[in-house]
Amino acid sequence: MTYSIDSKIIIVGSGVFGLSSALNLVKNGYKNITIFDRTDYETEKYSPLRSSDSASGDINKFFRIYYENKTLYSKLAIDALNIWEAWNKEILDLSEEDKKRFIDDDLELLRLSGGLRINNEPNLVGVELTNLEGFTELGLRDTQYNINSKRDLVRAKLTGLDRKLDVVRDLKKRNKITSISGTLDSIGRMIKADKACYYVKILLEKEGVKFIYGEAGTLKNPIYSENDKTEIKGIKTSDGLEHKADLVIISTGSWTTSLVPQLQHRIQASLANIVYLEIPKSRQDLIDKYSEYPHIQWKTTSSENDRNEGFYDGEGGFAFFPNTKKEGILKVNTRQVKYLNPTKVGNEYISIPSTLGEERLPKSVIQEAKEIFMIIAPDVVQLEGVKVRSKLLWYTDAINSDFIIDFVPNYKNLIVATGGSAHGFKFLPVLGKTVVSRVLGKSDDYTELFRWKDPENIFIDNYGLKATNIEKDERRNFFNATFVEDSDLVFTKEDLAKLDTIALK
């Protein structure tokens, strides 16, 4: 099918994939775009501390360009970075009226925090070595510091980055860990996720893109053409209205399989979590201290061997996110069991997110997060009245962790843009380029990479996507977890008594 710049385009889902689709379509002259979302992002501002429950609605995400040897992703991230840097300046040119629409905070979208990827192995693990090879191929090896290489440590001293390694020295001393190996990534950055999504929403509004939220914005079902079964006429929303469209793009993150069941065994929702710890505003000294910390990943680079032992990608280790000076919120993302929520759709069970407002996380997640805060920020956890807050989110795991941006087979005008697999956010500025290529019928490296894939050809079933009868998988069934209670959120006397002995696992 061919589309003109006036073609009516409906995008369902206003997370990173939907926003990016609209942004890049607008850049290419398309004028008639409406975005639908079940969440009212005008009031929720993509904030997880309000009631946003999408993967995109978070206080921060990490920007990295290393992708082992998948350099197409690295190149795409570099492309995205150019736009992120421009936005970081341009956001300050918004009118005062627009600036007031954001939740009160400084509007720095991107911050050069650096990132540490470490574990307790004596030497760099295989994935890290491959990452370094990838950097060498890109001509960027000097941006990386092997923390066990004397040469790299000297470079870190000379470039002033040695201070980012204080946390490693501290962990060794306090935790009595004899060996820590890993890499300091000097170009890793923190992205303010909620502000970034809201900024793109403002940019799109200025270009005439319409947003419809709430019941009126919730896709109930696509409307199929009566004469031509390969064509979609538009969508029906939960308020009962029908909306005609020439092209429908579904970018509903971890909900997408429930709306486009053909995606089964290609993408799947699995449980994610975020745990926050706000440093009281009265302790600006601690806010300043932790704002200088790098992003830290502990034991997150699983090797092929780990995968063979029955763990999925994304299980094991944790990520720690430093706070900004104004917001002052530390964040931990633990990587425990990738729980599923098997729900019967048609004849089969698929995993889809639990509904809006469901905030209960497994107790073990909160306990682990509290222990991580006790180890990394012991002076914060001892402050009077501090307690953790948490957010239950869902990952959109995809085949080979590759995004899927393609027409749904056998449909002329239905595209899916999804499959973030815990790494999609950084590509917000550029994901939609592939949507535009699809619309124009062009091919390039990325249309090939993000194509609709056949599960039979999955190279590594990294998330267990091939599994059938997921409802029988007791280990991964979300409702088999023991859930958190309010009393688990505080640091009790018993917790704090372990401060001197607690160690990273």
Ligand X SMILES: Cc1cc2nc3c(=O)[nH]c(=O)nc-3n(C[C@H](O)[C@H](O)[C@H](O)COP(=O)(O)OP(=O)(O)OC[C@H]3O[C@@H](n4cnc5c(N)ncnc54)[C@H](O)[C@@H]3O)c2cc1C
Contact residues: ligand X, CB under 6 A:
12-18, 36-39, 54-56, 61-62, 217-219, 251-255, 259, 272, 274, 333, 393, 395-396, 418, 420, 422-426
User: What residue type is 327 in one-letter code?
Assistant: E
Q: Which residue's Cβ lies closest to ligand X?
A: 420
Nearest distance from C-beta of residue 11 to ligand X, angstroms: 10
Q: Which is nearer to ligand X, 61 or 117 (CB)?
A: 61
**Beta carbon nearer to ligand X, 156 or 301:** 301
Q: What is the nearest approach in angstroms of ligand X to the Cβ of residue 217?
A: 6
For the bound state, the minimum distance from the C-beta of residue 52 to ligand X, rounded and expressed in Å, comes to 8
Closest CA to 335 of 306, 365, 302, 308: 365
Give whichever of 351 and 396 is closer to ligand X, judged by the CB atom.
396
Nearest to ligand X of 24, 251 (CB atom): 251
Taking the least distance from each CB to ligand X, the nearer of 30 and 425 is: 425
**Beta bridge partner(s), residue 119:** 181
In Å, how far are 32, 33, 34, 231, 350 from 244, measured between CA atoms?
Answer: 12, 12, 11, 12, 29
Q: Between 341 and 418, name the residue whose CB sits nearer to ligand X.
A: 418
CB of 403 to ligand X, least distance (A): 8
The least CB distance from residue 298 to ligand X, in Å, is 14
Give me the least distance between CB of 382 and ligand X, in Å please. 27
Say how far apart CA 322 and CA 307 lie, in whole Å.
29
Distances, alpha carbon 85 to alpha carbons 78, 144, 291, 373, 427, in Å:
11, 20, 20, 31, 13
CA distances from 409 to 27, 100, 256, 258, 432 (A): 27, 44, 15, 17, 19
CA–CA dist 376, 380 (Å, integer): 9
CB of residue 49 to ligand X, shortest distance in Å: 15
343 Cβ contact partners less than 8 Å away, ≥ 6 residues apart: 258, 349, 350, 351, 352
Asked if 397 and 421 touch (Cβ cutoff 8 Å), the reply is yes
Specify the residue, 63 or 102, whose C-beta has the smaller distance to ligand X. 63
Distance spanning both ends of the chain, measured CA to CA = 55
Write the DSSP string, 144-196.
EEETT-HHHHHHHHHTT-GGGGHHHHHHHHHHT-S--EEEEETT-EEE-HHHH
- Name the burial class of residue 323, with classes exposed (0-12), middle (13-18) and buried (19+) by CB atoms within 10 angstroms of its CB: buried
Q: Minimum distance from CB of 295 to ligand X (Å)? A: 8
Give the Å distances, CA to CA, from 502 to 176, 290, 316. 10, 20, 18
CB nearer ligand X, residue 342 or residue 424: 424
Residue 350 or 502 with smaller CB distance to ligand X: 350
User: What does the chain come to in residues?
Assistant: 505
Distance CA 12, CA 32 (A): 14
Closest separation in Å from C-beta 16 to ligand X? 4
